[in-house]
Structure 1
Amino acid sequence: MTHYDLLLIGTGSGNMFLDKRFKGLKTAIAEEWHFGGTCLNVGCIPTKMFVYPATLAEQAAQADRYNLSPTHPQIDWAGLQDRIFSRIDAIESGGRDYRSSDRQPNITVVTEHVHFTGQKSVRTASGEEITADRIVIAAGAHPVVPSIEGLDAARVDEADYPVFTSNTVMRRSGQPRRLVIIGSGIIAMEFAHVFSALGTEVTVLARGARLLGSIDAEAADEFTRIFDSSHSVLHGAQAKHIDVADGEVTLGLEPSGRLGEVDLPETITADGVLIATGRVPNTAELDVAAAGFDVTDGQRLAVDRHQRVLSAGAPVPGVFALGDICSPHQLKHVANHEAKIVGRNLDADVAAGQPGAAREDDLAAVNHHAVPGAVFSSPQVAYLGMSEQEAKGAGHDITVKVQQFSDVAYGWAMADDPGIVKIIADRQSRLILGASIVGHEASMLIQPLIQAMAFGQTADEVATGQYWIHPALPEVVENALLGLEFDD
């Protein structure tokens, strides 16, 4: 048995806080996978590095909308992969080497899976027992693989099996000619855009009528309308069985039951199937039940506002968590924020002496107000705060404005590209409660609204208290703000 002052499990955002404040602690880092976590290796960063060239290819193919001759770029799939992952892999190995080198003499990297055997103890896959005075759990989440007749779940993501998840889809050799995507959420919509724009014949299986069903209903409807107009989507469908033979996949389809009677083909055949049906925190894999830690209905590790892990509703002294394993928001920027909170509170905990001895007043609290997200599909989507349905459910007297991109001059320059800005505000306080943007560069356009919510600026103050560049596209946000109706 080896004892440490600090055990860190996971090296995504969890690797961020471990700085010179903790150089005096004998520390173990348990990482069985890639340094840098999901975002760096299989998530945010490489996907956007695929999205950008895919968007350029789509724009080239649709150039006739702008009175230009369309072109259909030839894709160098292997070259694209090499350009992306040569950079990603160098960062991953650099982070691993740094933590494993003589430059970090107080740190031991444990390159094995670990699982809890008690509140302050874990066992490695090879049987080593590790204990620690303090533990930070940042072990992330993993893709959900649904139960489908004929699907060999143990082989999903193996190189010779044509059914895969977001963990491996970007690194597979050879671009698939035909791809079926099971799912209609963020991951499904981003990869549907990437592969279809780069020339793959993509079919999306969506169980319901709306794509991106977790966002504001009106925004989801707008996205669905635009996306359906240029992509093959089978609504009300689900996979009944999967047959793999001769490198191909045949899916038997059946109605999901969400849309009543739907006209579906009996089967669909493809070169590969991407399962994109969500992600689940890695609490079961860590066996957190053995430690007695609380877990929510969504399988998230329960934490308080200081990111302290809870057991029977009370903080476990010296045990913290951050990121997808515990956060209600599976977003990298939220995990980064939580890592900063954990770093500050772990520092205070160490300074207090005994684990859990820090005073509440010395601990920082997490801020999950005005959390934004984005979908890098075509069109882009960005969202913030409450949906209209949530705002009404919370009892707010709301005012809502939906502004079309085609209402402003830059929208005309884009040949009236479709898109909307929707803003929800409280009629009495004039504060913005939420927003959704569907359309060109939505992820950038939403930033003034994030700032307004974060700093408590009223909607009319944001609209009239600053310059808006004319005729830039942010005028569509300005006009939406101006269109809100408030009580005098």
Structure 2
Amino acid sequence: MKHYDLVVIGAGSGNVLVGPEFAEWRTAVVEQDRFGGTCLNRGCIPSKMFVVAADAATGVGAAARLGVHARLDHVDWPAIRDRVFGRIDPLHESAVRYRRDTGTDVYTEPARFVAPRVLEVGGETITADTMVVATGSRPVVPPIPGLSDVAFHTSDTIMRIDGVPESLVVIGGGFIAAELGHVFGAFGSRVTIVQQGPRLLMAEDEQVSQRFTEIVAQRHRLLLGHRAQAVEARPGGVAVQVAADGGTGPTETVEAAALLVATGRRSNADLLDATAGGLDLDEHGHIAADASFRTSVPGVWTLGDATNHFQLKHRANAEVRVVRHNILHPDDLITASAAPVPHAVFADPQIASVGLTEQEARARGIRHVVSVRDYADTAYGWALEDTTSFVKLLADPRERLLLGAHVIGPMAATLIQPLLQALACGQTVDRIARDVVYIHPALTEVVEQALLAL
């Protein structure tokens, strides 16, 4: 049995926790898969690299509105894929080597708790005074009859396939469906999205979700309000039986060369036998923790997808900073920022959002005023010939503070940044609208105009 001062379980965001501050500690990192976690290996980073290529492909045809007439001759999928993973895959070995060279033990076998602060890893038992559970999440595979008998993909696997499928059925209508539907549609797949709700991206502001759905419906076949009832193999692909009206209406069969299941993600805490380690779980299977990320077991901390419901790398990175501080300063605990957590969807169009949606504000009875400004109202919007994008802001009319910000259109994830800062720093609408000089004719003028209207 080996004993450590610190053991980190999970080498996604958890891997960066072990810094120079722990040079005098005996440390270990446990990771049964690949260092870098979901984000680096099969999530946000590779998918965005694919999205950039997809944007280039769709930009060829879209340029006609600017008077530039071009043709897309060929999409070299192996070259696109190999550019992505040729850069990403070597990072695992280099990360493991770095950890070992700098004095941290690395375990690459599956781990499970056998008692509080006691792990069984590949036939060994290890203990620690301090443990951090950062085991991430995995795709949800719904109990659809026949699904286990067919070859299907999740976001974990589809980016590594050998070729672009002629047709693709996507079950789900969230982030993954939006982004990977864009990627494969841009590269030539006929995409059908099966979504139980009435719109795609249902968690977004309703006005944004509706606009996004209208745009995507012009490119892909959308079966909204449909539930996948059964799946079976067919020559050259799969067949998905779907039913309208949320599963109670008429049925039809959709055939495709490939199937992507994009119905969400779940915490990996169960794979760790967290309860055997004395850890409490919430009703969704996440490890329960307080605002400082302490678990129910003294000395055990948690962060990232294992505990939170955001499933966002930037949130996990912020939590790493909090947990590192708290481990090193147990008498001076801090918590994560109370500012709303932003997110972006790198589809076409791009979406970025932070804070309350209008429907949330109404449902909670929160006083608010709304401003919506189209890209088309700005000079750069004219340059883009944009007719569908907009910025939407919500604010408290008495406090004059932003409550929420939502952007749909080119560079949305960048345009929202000054609004994030305003929310986090408590800056009034008046201040960020009038005390800041916005570059003309940059696209940021749409943010300025939305603020002035607000």
Using structure 2 for the length normalisation, give the TM-score: 0.96
Residue 140 of structure 1 is matched in structure 2 by 136
1:36 correspondence with 2:65: no
Question: Aligned partners of 2:401, 2:284: CA distance in 1, in Å?
Answer: 31
Please give the alpha-carbon distance, in whole angstroms, between the structure 2 residues aligned to 1:395 and 1:207. Answer: 27
1:118 corresponds to: 115
Alpha-carbon distance in structure 2 between the residues aligned to 1:329 and 1:278: 12
2: CA distance between counterparts of 1:192 and 1:95?
A: 32
Residue 370 of structure 1 and its aligned partner are, at CA, apart by 2.9
Distance 1:118 1:27 in 2: 19
| 1:374 maps to which of 307, 332, 344 | 344
Provide the C-alpha distance between the structure 1 equivalents of 2:304 and 2:442, rounded to a whole number of angstroms. 36
Show the 5 A alignment for 1:321-360: 321-348=302-329, 358-359=330-331
Measure the CA separation in 1 of the matches of 2:399 and 2:363: 17
Q: Match for 1:254: what amino acid?
A: A
1:246 CA displacement: 3.8
- 3-state SS in 2 of match to 1:72: coil
Q: For 2:181 and 2:300, how far apart are their aligned partners in 1?
A: 40
Task: Give the 3 Å change call, closer, same or farther, for CA 73–452 of structure 1 in structure 2.
Answer: farther
Q: Secondary structure at the match of 2:86?
A: helix
> Is contact 2:341-2:354 (8 Å) kept?
yes
Question: Deviation string for 1:385-433 (max 9, x for gaps)?
Answer: 1112223444432111111111222112111331111100000000001
* Alpha-carbon distance between aligned partners in 2 of 1:306 and 1:73, rounded to the nearest angstrom: 54
The residue aligned with 1:271 is: 257
Secondary structure at the aligned position of 1:317 is classed as coil
Percent of aligned pairs with the same amino acid: 43
**Conserved in 2, the CA contact under 8 Å of 1:51 and 1:376?**
yes
After superposition, what is the alpha-carbon deviation per residue over 1:47-79, rounded to whole angstroms, capped at 9, x for unaligned? Answer: 000000101110102222222213124111111
Q: SS state of the match for residue 299, structure 2?
A: strand
Give distance in 1, aligned partners of 2:15 and 2:453: 44
**Whole-angstrom CA distance in 1 between matches of 2:336 and 2:78:** 42
Shift of 1:143: 0.3
| Corresponding residue number in structure 1 for 2:148 | 152
Aligned partners of 1:82, 1:417: CA distance in 2, in Å?
35
What corresponds to 1:353 in structure 2? none
Query: Which residue of structure 2 aligns with residue 104 of structure 1?
Result: 102
Task: Note if contact 2:227-2:246 (Cα within 8 Å) is conserved in structure 1.
Answer: no
Contact 2:243/2:249 (<8 A) preserved: no
Alignment partner, residue 268 of structure 2: 282
2:59 alignment counterpart: 59
Please state how far the C-alpha of 1:272 moved relative to its aligned partner: 0.9
Shift of 1:294: 1.9
CA deviations 1:172-216 (Å, max 9, x no partner) are: 112211111110000110000000011111111111111100121
Report the AA paired with residue 113 of structure 1.
P
**Which shows bigger deviation, 441-450 or 248-257?**
248-257
Amino acid paired to 1:44? C
**Residue pair 1:60, 1:73 contacting (<8 A) in 2 also:** no
What letter corresponds to residue 222 of structure 1 in structure 2? R
1:390 aligns with 2:360: yes
Supply the distance in 1 between the matched residues of 2:3 and 2:434 (Cα, whole angstroms): 60
State the 1:469 CA deviation: 1.3
Q: Is the 8 A contact 2:195 2:226 kept in 1?
A: yes
Q: Return the letter of the residue paired with 2:204.
A: I
Contact 1:306–1:363 at 8 Å: present in 2 too? yes
- Alignment partner of 2:52: what SS? helix
Distance in structure 2 (CA, Å) of the matches to 1:218 and 1:416:
17
SS of aligned partner of 1:75: coil
Residues 15-94 of structure 1 aligned to structure 2 (within 5 Å): 15-94=15-94
Are positions 1:254 and 2:243 aligned together? yes
Other-structure match for 1:228:
217
One-letter amino acid of the counterpart of residue 137, structure 1: V
State the AA in 2 paired with 1:403: R
- From 384, 387, 401, the equivalent of 1:417 is 387
- Show structure 2 runs of 5+ residues with no match: none
Partner secondary structure for residue 72 of structure 2: coil
Q: Which residue of 2 aligns with 1:467?
A: 437
Aligned-partner Cα distance in 1 for 2:245–2:126: 47
1-structure distance, mates of 2:318, 2:392? 27
Q: Matched residues in 2 for 1:324 and 1:129: separation?
A: 25
CA drift at 1:144: 0.2
Deviations along 1:267-313, whole A, 9 cap, x unmatched? 1111110100000111111111112322222222111111111x2xx
Report how far residue 261 of structure 1 moved. 5.0
Q: Secondary structure of the equivalent of 1:295?
A: coil
Q: Distance in 2 between matches of 1:243 and 1:261?
A: 20
- 1:127 pairs with 2:123: yes
**Using the alignment, how far apart are the partners of 1:65 and 1:300 within structure 2?**
48
Distance change >3 Å, CA 181–CA 96, structure 1 → 2: same
User: Which region of structure 1 is more displaced relative to structure 2, 430-439 or 281-290?
Assistant: 281-290
TM-score (normalised: structure 1): 0.90
What does residue 365 of structure 1 align with?
Answer: 335
2:235, 2:130 → 1: CA distance?
Answer: 51
SS at match of 2:80: helix
Question: Match of 2:191?
Answer: 202
Question: What letter corresponds to residue 480 of structure 1 in structure 2?
Answer: A
SS for the counterpart of 1:241 is strand
Alpha-carbon distance between aligned partners in 1 of 2:386 and 2:32, rounded to the nearest angstrom:
49
TM-align CA RMSD: 1.6
- The one-letter code sitting in structure 1 at the alignment partner of 2:411 is E
List alignment gaps of at least 5 residues for structure 1: 154-160, 349-357
